[in-house]
Structure 1
Amino acid sequence: MSITEPASFSPSDDAGDSDAAAQTQASLPEEPDALDPQDSAADGPGGSSASTGGETTRRLGRIGGLDVARGLAVLGMIYVNFAPIGDGDDRWSSAHSILSDIPNGRSVILFALVAGISLSLLTGRDAPYTGERMATARKRIVGRAFMLVFLSMLTSLLNLPVIVVLSYYAVWFVLALPFTSWSVRKLWTAAAATAVVGPILSVAIVWVTASLGLVAQENDPFLWTMLIAGNYPGLVYMAFIFAGMAIGKSCIAEARHQAKLVALGAALMVLGYGGSYVLTHTLFDSRDTLQVRGAVVTEESGGSHVSPDSSSDGQADPPPADPDSDQREHAFDWAPVAFDPASQLVTANPHANTVFEVVGSGGFAIALTGLCLLIGRASRNVLRPLAAVGSMSLTVYATHLVILGTMPDLANNSWEAVLWMSVGALIVCGLWRLFYRRGPLEWAMWRFSYYVAGLLSAERIAPPSGAEGTGSPDTVSPARAES
């Protein structure tokens, strides 16, 4: 079996590491590692890809603003996982609780949005690849998904006190593959539909299956957790992937479009958070009741749902059947379980996975991404360390998981850990990027994606020649890093 370099990739591997103002190239492919989520189009003025006489032009270079957004997301995860939880009654605890809620939940959403942007950039931006080139791109994305699942398995062996999101991202990547050729309009429509229907459908499916006694929490299968009942179900989070893909197919190098993203995100925040606030403070509260198949239930008390109605003897009606209890003798024995209180269905709290959280927090991620793109040029100077963290987000994320696994007492308990992890990431990643194009895990994933693409192809596909150093991540001199 021959080792071939696909004709769709340029042998030059250095064009994508700067924020060059307006690099374009007619009839020539983008940088060979364009399937690396860290390599994409350049910040700067200019339009989107264009086609002239059947020849496609695409902007080359690295979008520093996206690296800044990734950097903020991964540092937000570090903060959420290490910072002490403010649970006291003093002013500081209250203020800290408010500050904690900013990255809590939203860091994952920001990562998902930027991942969606990367998927579009990796598959041709607003001029999607076709034929063998698109097939190769999709195969390499499948390779990245396998790598993420493998890394998730390894980190899970550490018995971590936090949820590892890598497997979720792997599933989202695979789910997004059929939509990589969709137009911007279709992707925004898919994002809106998923944001509204996804959370409702997820709750409905969980309720129906639980009422039928079909799902036991301790035996959740992989896809059930990833798609429906997990902390980050695909039925909900694909809204952010679709939105990111739509953004990636737009003119994100134009300041005008970046400002539109900020405005759109702000409007969605008002709609999601404002709508939730109005509903929870006017129509619902934690004591509100919700009719479920003829049985009235209220908020949880002592671990079970108790009906406010009483029987003739003054005793409370028994709670709905628990599908995991011994009372359920057979699967498909219909016994409706209780819904959450109505107030929980309209909340916009982190990890609530409601329509209001998806719209509000999705808007936050869109606005922040637009802002990061607007200040993307700063990634070459004052924000360069933060952009470096974003360019090595997988390595930084995995490193912080290893630290959590080896020192679990630091979880939500150490300001020193927040400081040392954050500052250390900024310094180490900043220095690393002076000499290497990719972080260690980013390099391994880049190589593995080519290997998987080769396995899934008639011919083995190797990384472009001259794109890397011998036996180590690709070296790049400081001079060429900004070429």
Structure 2
Amino acid sequence: MVKDEAKGAAERLTGLDLARSLAVFGMILVNYRIAMGAEAGGPPWLAGAAGLLEGRSSAVFVMLAGIGLSLMTRRARQGEAGERRRSRTVIRKRALYLFLLGIGLLLAGWSADILHYYALYLFLGSFLIRAPSGALLVWTAGLLVCAQGQLLLLDYRTGWDPAFHQYLDFWTPEGFLRNLWFNGYHPMLPWFAFFVFGMWLGRLSLRDEAVRRRGLLVSLGVGFLSEATAFAARSASIPYLDEEGAAYLFGTKPMPPGLFYMLSAGGMAAAVILLCLYAADRLQGSALAARLIPAGQMALTHYVLHVIAGLGLLEFLGALENGSLPFALLYGTGYYAAALLLSGRWLNRFGRGPFESLMRRL
């Protein structure tokens, strides 16, 4: 996916790769839990703990993509018009590549794909390369407001079956666009706000300890305050609304992606990224970093393979829809452990993951 492409290992923010690696782990656990129908197939404490990851790992990925776009286009932003045009062309080609990869996964039966949404974020982000940093924050706020208004004015259930497992008219033009922009798993409104905020974050001096410290305090504050405010609002509104209505307006789950979810997940995503920058500095040269970071550098490959290889193996064995949450989490952990072992060896030999190499040729 989009990463820091500055020349030289010394310039690379390996903390971003560490964040990608941990997000890969969270993404695998969430997706395997959903694919195996194991949302509630275990002890309540385990189901509650696993549920905390929903929509959080994906938010980290999307925010990292925005950071990566800012780092990748730093010189183009300050350079001539021709250089900006070249950067936009590269970004749009990569967006097309990711879109086609995502469509391939959708055709293979992976309905929770993020890549075709991710491609839209990249394409739209290419128009904001020269936007002032303040304008990026305005865009972020505007997207959140528009998305919340959209949830109040439109029927979020449109297109979904009653259990929210299948999008019934996904392969029609109207259904595809509605899913992409409004009520899919990671719709442009409001998920593009994570990307735009990441673009803003990528323009900060992320190597500066003071910047990291302030950013961490603010992001944790926003995350926890959003959760607390949402809980209070739900509790206060239940006498006037039913429980479902209160959760719809003031919930912090990713579906529907309301204002409180976006603030909570966004704050926590930024905090995770900043903590990973700290951790990567402290772990530099350690065996742990040598295991974790390469998996983040192959995030796109691991995303594709955790569907094709990981879920494909379970389907071949007839164990895909087993409904066991402990099995889903253990299988996901085992898959991630295998990814850690293989990533370092692959990168030592080939330099980049296979899907990353294809994208870099564009």
TM exceeds 0.5?
yes
Residue by residue over 1:218-273, the C-alpha shift from the partner in whole angstroms, topping out at 9 and shown as x without a partner, is: 14443332112222111101110111000111111212111222112111112321
Which structure 2 residues correspond to residues 10-49 of structure 1 after superposition, within 5 A? Answer: 37-40=2-5
The alpha carbon displacement at 1:191 in A equals 1.4
The alpha carbon displacement at 1:383 in A equals 1.8
Whether the 8 Å CA contact 2:3–2:69 is kept in 1: the answer is no
Structure 2 counterpart of 1:144: 94
Which structure 2 residues correspond to residues 80-95 of structure 1 after superposition, within 5 A? Answer: 80-83=30-33, 85=38, 87=40, 93-95=43-45
Residue by residue over 1:374-409, the C-alpha shift from the partner in whole angstroms, topping out at 9 and shown as x without a partner, is: 122225422222111110000001000102145243
**3-state SS in 2 of match to 1:145:** helix
Letter matched to residue 238 of structure 2: F
Structure 2 counterpart of 1:375: 279
Which structure 2 residues correspond to residues 68-467 of structure 1 after superposition, within 5 A? Answer: 68-83=18-33, 85=38, 87=40, 93-124=43-74, 128-160=78-110, 162-206=111-155, 218=169, 219=172, 220-284=174-238, 288-289=240-241, 341-377=245-281, 378=283, 380-381=285-286, 382-402=288-308, 403-408=310-315, 409-410=319-320, 413=324, 414=327, 415-447=329-361, 449=362
Q: Distance in 2 between matches of 1:41 and 1:275?
A: 40
Q: Distance in 2 between matches of 1:136 and 1:110?
A: 27
Q: Distance in 2 between matches of 1:394 and 1:425?
A: 12
Q: Distance in 1 between matches of 2:156 and 2:46?
A: 35
The alpha carbon displacement at 1:207 in A equals 6.8
Q: Distance in 2 between matches of 1:427 and 1:207?
A: 42
Letter matched to residue 40 of structure 2: D
Give the TM-score, by structure 2 length. 0.85
Q: Distance in 1 between matches of 2:246 and 2:337?
A: 43
162-171 or 376-385: which moved more? 376-385
Q: Distance in 2 between matches of 1:347 and 1:124?
A: 37
Whether the 8 Å CA contact 2:77–2:84 is kept in 1: the answer is no
How many residues align structurally? 339
Whether the 8 Å CA contact 1:86–1:97 is kept in 2: the answer is yes
Change (3 A) 1:273 1:155: same
Change (3 A) 1:96 1:128: farther
Letter matched to residue 404 of structure 1: L
Residue by residue over 1:146-199, the C-alpha shift from the partner in whole angstroms, topping out at 9 and shown as x without a partner, is: 111111122223223x50111000011111121111122221222123223323
Which 5+ residue runs of structure 1 have no aligned equivalent?
A: 1-35, 44-58, 211-215, 290-297, 300-339, 450-483
Change (3 A) 1:126 1:371: farther
Residue by residue over 1:51-78, the C-alpha shift from the partner in whole angstroms, topping out at 9 and shown as x without a partner, is: xxxxxxxx96211000011111111111
Letter matched to residue 266 of structure 2: G
Percent identity over the alignment is 26
Whether the 8 Å CA contact 2:14–2:280 is kept in 1: the answer is yes
Q: Distance in 2 between matches of 1:207 and 1:351?
A: 9
Which 5+ residue runs of structure 2 have no aligned equivalent?
A: 160-166
CA RMSD after TM alignment:
2.7
Change (3 A) 1:416 1:359: closer
Q: Distance in 2 between matches of 1:193 and 1:238?
A: 11
**3-state SS in 2 of match to 1:383:** helix
Letter matched to residue 314 of structure 2: M
Q: Hey, which of these two has a bigger chunk of helix by percent?
A: 2
**3-state SS in 1 of match to 2:90:** helix
Residue by residue over 1:252-308, the C-alpha shift from the partner in whole angstroms, topping out at 9 and shown as x without a partner, is: 1212111222112111112321111101122226xx44xxxxxxxx67xxxxxxxxx
Q: Distance in 1 between matches of 2:77 and 2:127?
A: 16
Residue by residue over 1:313-339, the C-alpha shift from the partner in whole angstroms, topping out at 9 and shown as x without a partner, is: xxxxxxxxxxxxxxxxxxxxxxxxxxx
**3-state SS in 2 of match to 1:356:** helix
Letter matched to residue 191 of structure 1: T
Q: Hey, which of these two has a bigger chunk of strand by percent?
A: 1
Change (3 A) 1:249 1:344: same
**3-state SS in 1 of match to 2:74:** coil
Change (3 A) 1:190 1:428: same
**3-state SS in 1 of match to 2:43:** helix
Structure 2 counterpart of 1:314: none
Structure (1 or 2) with the larger CA radius of gyration:
1
Q: Distance in 1 between matches of 2:311 and 2:96?
A: 23
Bigger relative CO (Cα 8 Å, ≥ 6 apart): 2
**3-state SS in 1 of match to 2:230:** helix
Q: Distance in 2 between matches of 1:129 and 1:406?
A: 48
Change (3 A) 1:417 1:129: farther
Q: Distance in 1 between matches of 2:158 and 2:114?
A: 24
Change (3 A) 1:262 1:126: farther
Letter matched to residue 420 of structure 1: G
Whether the 8 Å CA contact 1:126–1:248 is kept in 2: the answer is no
Change (3 A) 1:407 1:249: same
Change (3 A) 1:77 1:170: same
Whether the 8 Å CA contact 1:379–1:387 is kept in 2: the answer is no
Letter matched to residue 15 of structure 2: G
The alpha carbon displacement at 1:200 in A equals 2.3
